[in-house]
């Protein structure tokens, strides 16, 4: 999805409702912005796991973060994004 956004007099960018719905943007959402000379990329600032342990069988166990996610859907979304940008999977 692409959208043309406008910077207002205060230097703020208003995200249209359809963009907010697709991005999952809600009030208070933290986002990370990656800048270059001609590009700004906004990415959700998702909490990363900091504590891990090993189970009795040797499997790596990540501590719960209370962040709901679907790992398979996240992998598919990342692959789709990379392929749409012409990058390798």
So where are the chain's domains? 6-44, 52-87
CB 46 within 8 A of CB 32: no
pLDDT above 80 (res 89) = no
pLDDT above 70 (res 27) = yes
**pLDDT tens-digit readout, 39-86:** 888 888 776 656 778 889 988 887 776 667 777 888 888 888 888 877
3-class DSSP assignment, residue 13: strand
**For residue 55, how many C-alpha atoms fall within 13 Å in the half-sphere facing its CB?**
6
Antiparallel, parallel or unpaired: β 52-54 and 39-44: unpaired
pLDDT above 60 (res 35) = yes
State the Cα–Cα distance between residues 89 and 83, nearest whole angstrom: 7
pTM above 0.75, yes or no: no
pLDDT above 80 (res 25) = yes
pLDDT above 80 (res 9) = yes
Both tokens of 70, joined, read: 């679907």
């Amino acid at each position: 999805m692409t959208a043309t956004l406008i910077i207002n007099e205060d230097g703020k960018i208003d995200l249209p409702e359809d963009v907010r719905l697709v991005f999952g943007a809600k009030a208070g959402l933290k986002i990370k912005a990656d800048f270059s000379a001609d590009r700004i990329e906004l990415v959700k600032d998702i909490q990363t796991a900091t504590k891990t342990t090993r189970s009795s069988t040797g499997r790596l166990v990540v501590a719960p973060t209370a962040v709901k996610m679907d790992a398979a859907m996240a992998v598919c979304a990342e692959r789709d994004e990379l392929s749409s940008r012409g990058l390798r999977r």
